[in-house]
């Protein structure tokens, strides 16, 4: 009797493999929580991937923005959700590595999340609006020195990757500037283009549409090597700041309670999505590189970033209210 039951169960599994696979996916709609306002780099990539996953999973994949506090509001929200896979976080360097090293947050970035996949690592772009007089790094340094504490730089929030890139620039160039935090790249870019603020180290993903339209000027990029999408824009290292590297990265993660089997199944599907030609084109246009791989790869990457930025913040004496 027992043998017959096992054979019957095995036959059912072979007959309906889709049912077995479906057990490792959410049973209903999925939300991807983004910690920044619509229009920013995190939001753009979440929507690109979310649309494809919705088609693949034959369910709704909804991008929901919970902006503020450099992405930590969204991260705290997702950390406290059930582990059923219905709620994912578009994990970001701010909420997962930088801000927890700057100030107290209501979650443990190292323990409260189940990594799913690294989506990509991008340079930040040093940009300005078209009316600014300094359009090279050299000229910007001279402008800041001639106007100490008067040149404004916007960011996606206090403690954001853009904010930390500005802090690195001020330390390296020995200049002072004004930091103007926003609740995401979208509203910050609106003010930069409108002339309310002058400069920003913004994500390549968010800045690119405005650079292409000519409303923003790309001055430099912040990885050690130029990315293909901006082959004619020098790096900060090439512009007189050797070793200057301040990136932004994105990934997908669930609450720590999410089963590993579900995370791995999602990982497989998202890796497939990121190999789709139109998605690859959009990732390349945003400068996103080094994405994909296993859940373990993303977990190791996040731990390394947490250690790196904690050291930079400590060594540089960076404060959350800087």
pLDDT digits (tens, 9 = 90+) for 198-209: 999 998 888 999
Q: What percent of the chain has pLDDT over 70?
A: 92
**For residue 165, what pLDDT is reported?**
92
* Mean per-residue pLDDT of the chain: 90
Strand 30-34 and strand 61-65: pairing? parallel
| Calpha distance 67→188 (Å, rounded) | 13
> pLDDT tens digits, residue range 188-236?
999 999 999 999 999 888 899 999 999 999 999 999 999 988 999 999 9
| Length of the chain (residues) | 322
| Calpha distance 160→170 (Å, rounded) | 15
Calculate mean pLDDT across residues 308-316.
Answer: 83
Calculate mean pLDDT across residues 282-287.
Answer: 85
| Calpha distance 315→112 (Å, rounded) | 26
Task: List the beta strands (DSSP E) in 104-177.
Answer: 113-129, 152-155
Closest CA to 39 of 197, 210, 221: 210
Cα 283–Cα 98–Cα 192 angle in degrees, nearest 5: 60
Report residue 6's pLDDT band, with 50, 70 and 90 as the boundaries: very low
Residue 321 has pLDDT above 70, yes or no: no
Report residue 22's pLDDT band, with 50, 70 and 90 as the boundaries: low
Report residue 37's pLDDT band, with 50, 70 and 90 as the boundaries: confident
**For residue 156, what pLDDT is reported?**
85
Calculate mean pLDDT across residues 85-98.
Answer: 96
Closest CA to 233 of 127, 132, 121: 127
**For residue 9, what pLDDT is reported?**
41
- Which pair of tokens denotes residue 245? 């590297």
Residue 10 has pLDDT above 50, yes or no: no
Task: Check residue 317 and give left, alpha or beta (phi > 0: left; psi -120 to 50: alpha).
Answer: left
Which helix (DSSP H) or strand (DSSP E) does residue 32 occupy?
strand 30-34
Range with the largest mean pLDDT of 43-52, 162-171, 284-293, 312-321: 43-52
Report residue 183's pLDDT band, with 50, 70 and 90 as the boundaries: confident
**For residue 27, what pLDDT is reported?**
85
């Amino acid at each position: 009797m027992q043998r017959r039951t096992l054979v019957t169960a095995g036959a059912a599994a072979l007959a309906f493999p889709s049912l077995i696979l479906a057990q490792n996916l959410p049973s209903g709609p999925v939300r991807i929580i983004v910690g920044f306002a619509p229009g920013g780099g995190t939001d753009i990539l979440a929507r690109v991937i979310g649309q494809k996953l919705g088609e693949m999973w034959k369910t709704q994949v909804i991008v929901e923005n919970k902006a503020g506090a450099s992405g930590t509001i969204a991260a705290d929200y997702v950390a406290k959700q059930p582990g059923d896979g219905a709620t994912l976080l578009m994990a970001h360097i701010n909420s997962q590595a930088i801000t927890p090293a700057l100030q107290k947050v209501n979650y443990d970035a190292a323990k409260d999340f189940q990594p799913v996949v690294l989506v990509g690592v991008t340079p930040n772009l040093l940009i300005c609006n078209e009316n600014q007089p300094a359009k090279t790094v050299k000229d910007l340094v001279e402008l800041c020195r001639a106007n100490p504490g008067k040149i404004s730089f916007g960011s996606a929030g206090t403690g954001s990757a853009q904010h930390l890139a500005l802090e690195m620039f001020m330390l390296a160039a020995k200049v002072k500037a004004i930091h103007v935090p926003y609740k995401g790249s979208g509203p910050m870019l609106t003010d930069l283009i409108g002339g309310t603020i002058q400069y920003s180290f913004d994500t390549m993903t968010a800045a690119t549409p405005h650079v292409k339209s000519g409303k923003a000027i790309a001055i430099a990029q912040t990885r050690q090597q130029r990315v293909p999408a901006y082959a004619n824009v020098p790096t900060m290292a090439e512009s007189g700041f050797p070793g200057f590297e301040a990136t932004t990265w994105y990934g997908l993660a669930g609450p720590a309670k999410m089963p590993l089997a579900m995370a791995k199944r999602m990982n497989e599907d998202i890796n497939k999505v990121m190999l789709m030609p139109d998605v690859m084109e959009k990732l390349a246009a945003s400068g996103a590189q080094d994405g994909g791989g296993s859940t373990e790869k993303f977990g190791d990457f996040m731990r390394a970033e947490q250690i790196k930025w904690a050291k930079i913040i400590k060594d540089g004496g960076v404060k959350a209210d800087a």
